[in-house]
Amino acid sequence: MSDCIFCKIINGEIPSAKVFENDDVLAFLDISQVTKGHTLVIPKIHKKDVFDLEAETAEKLFSVVPAISRALRSEFDLNGLNMINNNGSFAGQEVFHYHLHLVPRYNEKDGIIQKKFISHQSEYTADDLQQIASTINQAIQP
C-alpha cells in the first residue's frame, strides 16, 4: 500500500532501527520508545488489522515474538513485557497496518499508565456466559 508508513519502512523508503527481519516479518524499534526497547512486529504483507489477518500470516508473525521477547529480557533489565495490539480507530489503532507492540516494563514509573480491566462479572450468569461463548463459537470461521 503506497501511503502506508509501515509498507514504506518494509520497502526501505523510510529508515528504521531493525531488530529482526526474515522473508515474512519485520521487527523494528518504535520511534516513540515508550520504554527502552519498545519494538513493533509487523507482517511484510499489508494487512489492515487482526480482522484482515489470515492464520498463515499470524503464525509467521507470532512465531518470532517469543525470540524477540527473550532477547529484550536478556539484554535489558526489564521486569515484564506488555504485548499491545489495537484494532480499529475506536480501539486506538493509528497506523492501519497490523502491528504488535512489545513494550518492556521496568518499573511502575516507566511511562505507561497501567489500566486495569473493570469487571462486569456480576452482570452475567453462568448461563449468559455459555450463550455468549456458543454464539462466538458458531461464528468462528478459521
**Whether residue 11 has pLDDT greater than 80:** yes
Digit-coded pLDDT (tens) for 81-120: 999 999 999 999 999 999 999 999 998 888 777 667 788 9
Nearest alpha-carbon partner for 50 in 81, 23, 85, 101? 85
Digit-coded pLDDT (tens) for 29-48: 999 999 999 999 999 999 99
- Grid cell listed for 26: 519485520
Q: Does the annotation count 99 as an active-site position?
A: yes
Exactly one of 46, 97, 99, 101 is catalytic; name it: 99
**Total residue count of the chain as it appears in this document:** 142
The pLDDT value recorded for residue 73 is 96
Domains of the chain, CATH where assigned: 5-116 (3.30.428.10)
Digit-coded pLDDT (tens) for 53-71: 999 999 999 999 999 999 9
- Grid cell listed for 68: 524477540
CB distance 18 to 68 below 8 Å: no
Q: What is the pTM of this model?
A: 0.91
- The residue with cell 462466538 is 136
